[in-house]
Structure formats: structure tokens, C-alpha cells
Chains A and B, each alone.
Chain A
């Protein structure tokens, strides 16, 4: 898998990097972080121009985020209608919208890089919940600077250790995503388990 991902870069160069960061922002399972690391180290070795690597990965990521946003926005009408048909689902939709109004910007920003595996879903949620596009675009474009900068930069700086680096960064990313999920789910369970909370019928 790793071999194939790296060999694809050698075979097709910078355009393949654009394609994988684009696709990974739409939640498709492509090894975008591995390939950014590898492209960074190929840039350090002098095989690829660093500017082109960064530009391709960055443009792919930003375009991918916005494609996800607009896809979800287009699909939001039938989904909203479905959610509104049931009071419980309607309440869920409302609380999602409230959340995005208050925390949408930082959520988009951090989901681009710190907890990148959650990124595509935050993009879809943003489009679906009517989060304002200009805010989405600005926070996302800032977040992707970190995502691309960290992975390409790490590949470039530690070019001769990317195998060990890839597994370290993968584990850190998994750890951070699990931390966020633990916190969010734990907080919700804590609230609904309050002695005063109504038991479910």
C-alpha cells in the first residue's frame, strides 16, 4: 500500500498529489498524508520542485473542501425535509445548526489538519447546516495551510526517515481523533445521564 502510494507519485508526479488531497477531502479513502510526506521528501532530494508540491496539495485540499461543502448544500433540501418530518430528528438538525453558528469556524479549521480524518464530515455538515460559505472558505483555507505545511514540511525536513515518520504521524492522528470522539460522546452521555434527565420511554 505504502509502496504503491509512493510509486504513484514517481510515476505521475505532482498532479497525483492534487488528485489525492482533493479526493481525501471528500472522505474517499486515499493515503493523502502518506503521499504528502513522500512528495515532501522527494522535494528534499531534488526530484520534485517544492513549490509545485505545496501548491498542488494545497489547491487539491481547498477545492476538495469546497466541493464537499457545495455537494452537501445541494443535497441539504431533501435531507432537511426528511429530518424535519420527525421531532427528534428536527431537534438534532436544530442543535447542529446552533453548534455550527457558534463553533463552525474553529471546527472547520481544526478538522482540516489537527483531526483531519474528521475533516470531510465537517465539510458536509457545514454545507448541510447552511453555514456561511465565505466563513467556511476562509477557515478551511487557513486550516489546509497547516495540513499541507505539516505533512509536506515533515517529509521535506525528515526525508530520510519517512517510513518511521509516517507511522508516528498516523498514530498521533488516530489518537487525536479518538480523543475528540471520546470527549464529545462522553460529554453528551454525561449530560443525558444526569439524575434529572428524563428516562427514555
Chain B
């Protein structure tokens, strides 16, 4: 083994270094995969806070809120119904921040759950 390494170091140094680099990358992703799997496995990480790219229907699915409950929290009415648009767009159109939307959604969620039998 040592002889082989010596031989490679003498004759194929660049590729040997690339090989060690690849092994390091392998270890890096191995550790990250385990970390991500543990994170994924933890139920505490399953309630995503809202983000700019999310859509009303996505939030409705994610928060288990019927659209008619979620709609008013996102300034959506009969004349301005739920569409395929991002929360960022909705926030901008209503001159509020995403944080404001989060507060409104949380309030709607609490009110809805309180009325559930």
C-alpha cells in the first residue's frame, strides 16, 4: 500500500491529489446528508414559517387552513380571489411586510383552531 502510494506520488501526483480532494468532498456530503436527515426527521422543523415565494394555496395546504379562512388574512376577497401568486406580491400590493402577513395568518390559524370541536 505504501509502495503504491509512493509510486502514485512519483508518477501521478496531480490525480492522487484530486482523489484525496474527492474523498474529502465525499466525507463533507456524508456528514451533511446525516445532518439533513436528522433535521428532516425532527417534527419540530415541519412547520415552515411563510416565505416570499409561497402562494396562498401552498400556505393553505401547509397550515391546514381552508381557503375561506386564509383568504381574508391575505387580503383576498370575492372580488380578488385566491390566485397563483406569491405572498411577496400580495404583501407589496397591500403595502405590508411578510412579517405582517405571518401575524395575520397566525391569528387566523389560532381563531380557526379555537372554533374547531
A interface, CB within 8 angstroms of B: 2-3, 6-7, 10, 13, 38, 41-42, 44-48, 159-161, 163-165, 167-168, 171-172, 174-175, 178-179, 181-182, 185-186, 188-190, 192-195, 197, 199-200
Q: Flag whether B92 is at the interface (Cβ < 8 A).
A: no
Partner of A185, one of B18, B30, B35: B18
CB of B61 within 8 A of CB of A164, answer no
Contacts A159-B58, A165-B40, A193-B5 given; indicate if A48 touches B18 (C-beta within 8 A). Answer: no
B37 CB, nearest partner CB in chain A, Å: 6
CB of B53 within 8 A of CB of A182, answer no
Partner of A7, one of B26, B32, B40, B53: B53
A191 CB, nearest partner CB in chain B, Å: 10
Residues on the A chain within 8 Å of B84, using CB: 10, 13, 42, 47-48
User: How many residues belonging to B are interface residues under a CB distance threshold of 8 Å?
Assistant: 42
B interface, CB within 8 angstroms of A: 3-5, 7-8, 10-12, 15-16, 18-19, 22-23, 25-26, 28-30, 32-33, 35-37, 39-40, 45-46, 48, 51-53, 55, 57-58, 60-62, 84-86, 88
B88 CB, nearest partner CB in chain A, Å: 7
Q: Give Cα A123–Cα B8 distance, bound, in whole angstroms.
A: 31
**Can you report 28 A-B residue pairs in the complex whose CB atoms are below 8 A from each other?**
A7-B88, A10-B85, A13-B84, A38-B53, A42-B55, A42-B57, A44-B61, A45-B62, A161-B48, A164-B36, A164-B39, A167-B39, A171-B32, A174-B33, A175-B33, A178-B22, A178-B26, A182-B26, A185-B18, A185-B19, A185-B22, A188-B15, A189-B16, A192-B11, A193-B4, A193-B12, A194-B4, A197-B7
CB of B52 within 8 A of CB of A7, answer yes
A169 CB, nearest partner CB in chain B, Å: 9
CB of B12 within 8 A of CB of A189, answer yes
A138 CB, nearest partner CB in chain B, Å: 31
CB of A46 within 8 A of CB of B7, answer no
CB of A174 within 8 A of CB of B19, answer no
Q: Give Cα A200–Cα B13 distance, bound, in whole angstroms.
A: 11
Residues on the B chain within 8 Å of A2, using CB: 53
Residues on the A chain within 8 Å of B19, using CB: 182, 185-186, 189
- Which partner residue on chain A sits nearest B46 by CB separation? A161
Q: Give Cα A38–Cα B52 distance, bound, in whole angstroms.
A: 13
Q: Give Cα A186–Cα B51 distance, bound, in whole angstroms.
A: 43
Q: Give Cα A163–Cα B52 distance, bound, in whole angstroms.
A: 13
Contacts A160-B48, A171-B32, A192-B8 given; indicate if A47 touches B58 (C-beta within 8 A). Answer: yes
Q: Give Cα A121–Cα B109 distance, bound, in whole angstroms.
A: 49
Partner of B57, one of A47, A175, A188, A193: A47
Residues on the B chain within 8 Å of A194, using CB: 4
Q: Give Cα A186–Cα B5 distance, bound, in whole angstroms.
A: 12
Residues on the A chain within 8 Å of B25, using CB: 174, 178, 181
